[in-house]
Amino acid sequence: MSEFLGESEAQKVRSFDALRAYLRRESGLILDADKRYLVESRLSPIIRRESINGLSDLVRILELNQAPRLAQEVVQAMTINETYFFRDRLPFDTLRNEILPELIRNRAAQKSLRIWCAAASTGQEPYSIALIMEEMASRMPGWRVDIIGTDLSEAALARAKEGLYSQFEVQRGLSTPQLLRYFNQIRDMWQLKENVRSRVKYRHMNLLGDYGMLGNFDVIFCRNVLIYFDAAKKSEVLNKMTRTLAPDGAIFLGAAESVIGLDTKLVPHPQHRGVLVRNTHAQTLTKKQA
Amino acid sequence: MMNALVVDDSAVIRKITRRILENLSFHVDEAADGVEASRVCYEDMPDIIFLDWNMPEMNGLEFLKDLRNMPFGGEPKVIFVTTENDIARIRCAIEAGADEYIMKPFNEHIIREKLAQIGLPVD
């Protein structure tokens, strides 16, 4: 990246360390030392646009606390997740085949489910869930299923709402029959059809903020988000989520994430890897299993 | 070991696809068009075919229709790998019996994804 070429290696390392310290202090974000490549690819556009003289100057500007909008933009750029449809497959299979059938049995009277994607990014995760619901719709007449997608990045959410994806993006995780059934082709891009897009509502939200407006949920997807927080912030986020979770609800974490060492009432689901449930619900499930 | 047949008139694409598939532990044969691919299939039906659309002699769609009428021709999984990205073409390929469709350019990740889609996951 040309914006960084003028800086020596030692200077780049110093700037990166200063950025990491800043992000941790201001947003609770943990940026691992091996993520320097992300800084270059994600902050170069901002540095170029603002005509800033390299990363070291950007960090100096941030530390002056005089540019809140720029600061927010840097935080957003550093937290945009890599995402694709049905990422890792297993959590979506678990949702479709195990968690949803149980919740559908438990909610037979209310006929209502609420699902929250806590890091919706550009929409692939909530829309993957919407596609599962679309496929199950004929077995759920009269049901209302709300899918809420939240994210820290307004730019990502704007893309999510549009539901417009490149050829490369739709080929990651979607089958060709799904592409034909649920997308319209617009030149070289692919847009999710209105009936799928309308299943998801998006809201701009910081997970360190207040969840009061969101309501309660039966399922929460919080995958590959906690990795950005330190242990105290992870516990804080999980405890706030737990307060919005139904007694028999489930929280999905990323493949490499766990609650080991965290102060939380959530425990791993006795049967399904990567799924958390309340302590009390886990006991019920274990008794049923026995 | 699964047998794969890569059908493409571009030697470069055949080489790239071969490398990816060998890396995923497939045994790979190559054909430069539909006629050559038919010959390979009559001799030894592969488990999976990666098929280009536009080729001299016999194009991918013609080959696919022939293949599905050959003895054991219903068995191989067929994945189109082509620059043809129009939705009508894609629909036509699936209706003719293709199992999946990859729009070029592609990489190993997309091939892995599509193999998983058709029930052939690779570690």
Q: pLDDT tens digits, chain B, 123 residues: what are they?
A: 899 999 999 999 999 999 999 999 999 999 999 999 999 999 999 999 999 999 998 999 999 999 999 999 999 999 999 999 999 999 999 999 999 999 988 888 899 999 999 998 776
Facing A180 at nearest CB: one of B91, B102, B105: B91
ipTM over 0.85? The verdict is: yes
Quick one: closest CA in B to A183, which residue? B87
pLDDT at A3: 44
B1 residue type, one letter: M
Measured in angstroms, the CA of B30 and the nearest CA of chain A are apart by: 24
Pairing of strands A183-186, A189-192: antiparallel
Facing B100 at nearest CB: one of A167, A175, A188: A175
CB of A271 less than 8 A from some CB of B: no
Residue listed under structure tokens 């010959």? B39
**DSSP secondary structure letters along B10-55:** -HHHHHHHHHHHHHTT-EEEEESSHHHHHHHHHHS--SEEEE-S--
CB A93 within 8 A of CB A133: no
pLDDT in tens, A266-283: 999 999 989 999 999 999
Tokens of B119: 């029930």
CB A1 within 8 A of CB A41: yes
Give the dihedral of Cα atoms B44, B48, B54, B59; nearest 10 deg: 40
pLDDT at A38: 74
B-chain residues near A179 (CB < 8 A): 90
Quick one: closest CA in B to A90, which residue? B116
Q: Is the dihedral of CA A132, A153, A193, B99 positive or negative?
A: negative
pLDDT at A4: 52
A220, β-bridge pairs: A116, A251
pLDDT at A81: 62
Q: Does the distance separating the beta carbons of A89 and B94 come in below 8 Å?
A: no
pLDDT at A1: 42
- DSSP E strands, A212-280: 217-222, 245-253, 266-268, 275-278
Low-confidence stretches of chain A (pLDDT < 50) are 1-3, 5
| Residue B113 to residue A207: CA distance in whole angstroms | 31
| Residue A274 to residue A259: CA distance in whole angstroms | 10
A78, β-bridge pairs: none
pLDDT at A138: 93
CA-based R_g, chain B, Å:
13
Q: Does the distance separating the beta carbons of A176 and B87 come in below 8 Å?
A: no
CB of B109 less than 8 A from some CB of A: yes
| Residue A233 to residue A208: CA distance in whole angstroms | 8
pLDDT in tens, A196-211: 999 999 999 999 999 9
In degrees and rounded to multiples of 5, residue A111 shows phi and psi of 50, 45
What end-to-end distance do the CA atoms of chain B give, in Å?
14
Q: Does the distance separating the beta carbons of A180 and B94 come in below 8 Å?
A: yes
CB of A173 less than 8 A from some CB of B: yes
CB B17 within 8 A of CB B61: no
Measured in angstroms, the CA of A125 and the nearest CA of chain B are apart by: 16
CB of B11 less than 8 A from some CB of A: no
| Residue A125 to residue A146: CA distance in whole angstroms | 14
pLDDT at A2: 44
B-chain residues near A177 (CB < 8 A): 94
Tell which of A93, A166, A175, A176 to mutate to test the B interface (max B CBs under 10 Å): A176
| Residue A219 to residue A3: CA distance in whole angstroms | 43
A vs B, Cβ pairs < 8 A, gives 32
pLDDT in tens, A45-54: 788 888 888 8
Tell which of A86, A92, A172, A175 to mutate to test the B interface (max B CBs under 10 Å): A175
